[in-house]
A and B are shown apart, each in its own frame.
Chain A
Amino acid sequence: MASTVIHAIYTDDDVLMNAVKEVKKKHLHINDIFTPFPVHGLDKAMGLAPTRLAITAFLYGCVGITVATVMMNFIMIEDWPQNIGGKPSFSYIENMPAFVPIMFELTVFFAAHLMVITFYLRSKLWPFKKAENPDVRTTDDHFLMEIDATGKDGEELANFLVTTGAVEINLIANEA
């Protein structure tokens, strides 16, 4: 089925924010917005769900501290409990202060790296990925809002978007 989208281009983030609110009021569906820099509050205006990356980081941290504890308990206490400089290797807790730096670092390591990888996976980023850029100017100083216009009156929509401050409007039909 053929679908059409409208690309509305803005040159100011304040104007963009107001436009998003107007478009939301009209119950039009915003497919995506492309901006050259983070616009504070844009996600709230668009009604995007909050990120859960912080929660994953916490869980990865828990994994990290578990890995550290299990690893050192096996190596230092169970497998070969040597007397190294008189440190008590009879149980994990007795020698724990010596393990804390590693427990801490592995917690941070796991939390940080796995969260970053999760971010890459969720936002589909990798080295040879083809850039999905509808207009090269959006990486410099233009803001682009993509609105679903399938089955809608393009002319009327375009006129409405002009009133919200769009400087350029393109109607794009995808034959698929």
Chain B
Amino acid sequence: MYTLSKNLKLSAIIFMVVGALLFAVDAMYMPSSIADIEAMHAGDDHGESHDTAVSGEGHEAHEAIATAKGHGDDHAVASHQAEEGHAMSEAEHNQHLLDGYKNKPWSAVYVAAFFFFMISLGCLAFYAVQYASQAGWSPLLLRVMEGITGYLLPGSIIMLILLALSGFHFNHIFHWMADGITDPTSENYDKLIAGKSDWLNVPWLLIRAVIFIAGWNAYRFFAVKFSKEQDEATDNRSHKKSFKLAALFLVFFLYTESMMSWDWIMSIDPHWFSTLFGWYVLAGMMVCGITTIALITMILKGAGYLQSVNDSHIHDLAKFMFGFSIFWTYLWFSQFMLIWYSNIPEEVTYYIQRIEDYNLPFFGMLIMNFLFPLLILMNSDFKRVNWFVVMAGIVILLGHYVDIYNMVMPGTVGQAWSFGFVELGSLMFFFGLFVLIVFTSLTKRPLEPKRNPLIEESKHFHY
């Protein structure tokens, strides 16, 4: 049995407290009126209060673009607060920035919450694949996966609460939730969004979210229950039940994951749509889930647990990290290239905004998510060296945080983006929460399944 060490628990709590403090302090100093924005613009004192150099540069770059294009540029159209497409006056422009700043703390929480939720969901899908494919190498790692998916319930409830808060107008992350947007008599009326309102309306969004979350958590609950039963059983009935359940779950998961990605991510840019978006989110999810399995396995093995795990298991996980990183890149590029090539205005604005305003994170994540793992994890020998895999894993996880950031931020904060204390704070908070919950749930049952039918094969797994 694994016991949670005091140091780990304390570090996780410190991460949460420090994260929450950083978040609160920075959120307090967010510009709250047009006057604040004007003060930030005045003179050369960008970022005098709390903002980092990054956000200062952001403003300069943005001003340059705005001047060059006479305030009626493409990304004003792309940005959902200004779909009229007419030239923006200075006041409107400042209002636009202010809306972004108001969204900033909310979006920072949303990105971090989704990122850690996505790790546990990706891990759950990988877990189900192990059962459905009757993999012989992985049973030793099943308990690690069960531990990571322990975050699924809290993580998905946090996501549901965040969605509900958006639905009750506590923030403006989802533009399609705005008042009067589907009402032809309102000045907020948006014909395109009104046309999608059969799908995009708050009650139906929340009902869907509840169905998805209930389904995923039900699978997790029963899979863990069956795996516990199998430990004490005298036959393989629980294992077979788990096998069938895993197959059913994977069908359910593929549909719900796709819809979840439309609802929770794609609808942030409600004028834009992409058919392979669900796959793209799925690929990122799987990479993060597998990377986290590898990292936690190595931590546990390093601490003297999981003695039977050998470097062939790590090698296999590293192969999956490598393969899914490339799969993610394939989908990223397919989506980007198809839209770039055809250059249809209603689709391409999505990328214009990201390339103009988010250039560094947008292309930087390609180095972190593709080039780095490609070169580091290609060599078979490197995949057996723990610190190489750890290094690649950390870069991959950070890269996929940036990926989620790129999906959410342009539609919510637009040009007001930066990686400041709200983002860092919420990332630290959820990291601490994730570590606390995952390692606590690892203490709940023995780390090695006792009589899984494939456990002997897994113990002698050798590549």
CB nearest to B381 among chain A residues: A50
The total of chain A residues at the interface (CB under 8 A) is 6
- Nearest-neighbour CB distance to chain B for A110, whole angstroms, equals 16
A97 within 8 A of B: yes
In the bound assembly, the distance between CA atoms of A100 and B337 in angstroms comes to 9
Interface mask (B197-222 → A, CB under 8 Å = 1, otherwise 0): 00000000000000000000000000
- Nearest-neighbour CB distance to chain A for B347, whole angstroms, equals 14
Could you tell me if B340 and A97 are in contact, using CB atoms closer than 8 angstroms? yes
Could you tell me if B380 and A97 are in contact, using CB atoms closer than 8 angstroms? no
Could you tell me if A54 and B343 are in contact, using CB atoms closer than 8 angstroms? no
Chain A residues closer than 8 Å to B54, beta-carbon distance: none
- Nearest-neighbour CB distance to chain A for B154, whole angstroms, equals 40
Contacting A86 at CB < 8 Å: which of B336, B337, B343, B378? Answer: B343
Could you tell me if B378 and A58 are in contact, using CB atoms closer than 8 angstroms? yes
For residues 59 through 101 of chain A, which have their beta carbon under 8 Å from a beta carbon of chain B? Answer: 86, 97-98, 100
Chain B residues closer than 8 Å to A98, beta-carbon distance: 337, 341
Could you tell me if B343 and A97 are in contact, using CB atoms closer than 8 angstroms? no
In the bound assembly, the distance between CA atoms of A86 and B333 in angstroms comes to 20
Chain A residues closer than 8 Å to B380, beta-carbon distance: 54
In the bound assembly, the distance between CA atoms of A97 and B336 in angstroms comes to 8
Most buried by B among A54, A58, A86, A97: A97
For residues 314 through 372 of chain B, which have their beta carbon under 8 Å from a beta carbon of chain A? Answer: 333, 336-337, 340-341, 343
- Nearest-neighbour CB distance to chain A for B236, whole angstroms, equals 29
- Nearest-neighbour CB distance to chain A for B26, whole angstroms, equals 36
Interface mask (B371-409 → A, CB under 8 Å = 1, otherwise 0): 000000010100000000000000000000000000000
CB nearest to A97 among chain B residues: B337
Could you tell me if B378 and A97 are in contact, using CB atoms closer than 8 angstroms? no
In the bound assembly, the distance between CA atoms of A100 and B343 in angstroms comes to 17
CB nearest to B340 among chain A residues: A97
For residues 38 through 62 of chain A, which have their beta carbon under 8 Å from a beta carbon of chain B? Answer: 54, 58
- Nearest-neighbour CB distance to chain B for A101, whole angstroms, equals 8
In the bound assembly, the distance between CA atoms of A100 and B332 in angstroms comes to 13
In the bound assembly, the distance between CA atoms of A54 and B378 in angstroms comes to 10
Chain A residues closer than 8 Å to B336, beta-carbon distance: 97
Chain A residues closer than 8 Å to B340, beta-carbon distance: 97
- Nearest-neighbour CB distance to chain A for B123, whole angstroms, equals 30
- Nearest-neighbour CB distance to chain B for A92, whole angstroms, equals 15
CB nearest to B375 among chain A residues: A58
Chain A residues closer than 8 Å to B333, beta-carbon distance: 97, 100
CB nearest to A58 among chain B residues: B378
- Nearest-neighbour CB distance to chain A for B463, whole angstroms, equals 11
CB nearest to B339 among chain A residues: A97
Chain B residues closer than 8 Å to A54, beta-carbon distance: 380
In the bound assembly, the distance between CA atoms of A86 and B343 in angstroms comes to 10
In the bound assembly, the distance between CA atoms of A54 and B382 in angstroms comes to 14
In the bound assembly, the distance between CA atoms of A58 and B374 in angstroms comes to 12
CB nearest to A41 among chain B residues: B462
For residues 2 through 48 of chain A, which have their beta carbon under 8 Å from a beta carbon of chain B? Answer: none
Chain A residues closer than 8 Å to B341, beta-carbon distance: 97-98
- Nearest-neighbour CB distance to chain B for A50, whole angstroms, equals 9
In the bound assembly, the distance between CA atoms of A88 and B337 in angstroms comes to 14
12 A–B pairs (Cβ distance < 8 Å), ordered by A: A54-B380, A58-B378, A86-B343, A97-B333, A97-B336, A97-B337, A97-B340, A97-B341, A98-B337, A98-B341, A100-B333, A100-B337
| Given A54-B380, A100-B333, 10 more pairs with CB closer than 8 A | A58-B378, A86-B343, A97-B333, A97-B336, A97-B337, A97-B340, A97-B341, A98-B337, A98-B341, A100-B337
Q: Which 4 A-B pairs have the closest CB atoms?
A: A97-B337, A97-B340, A98-B341, A100-B333
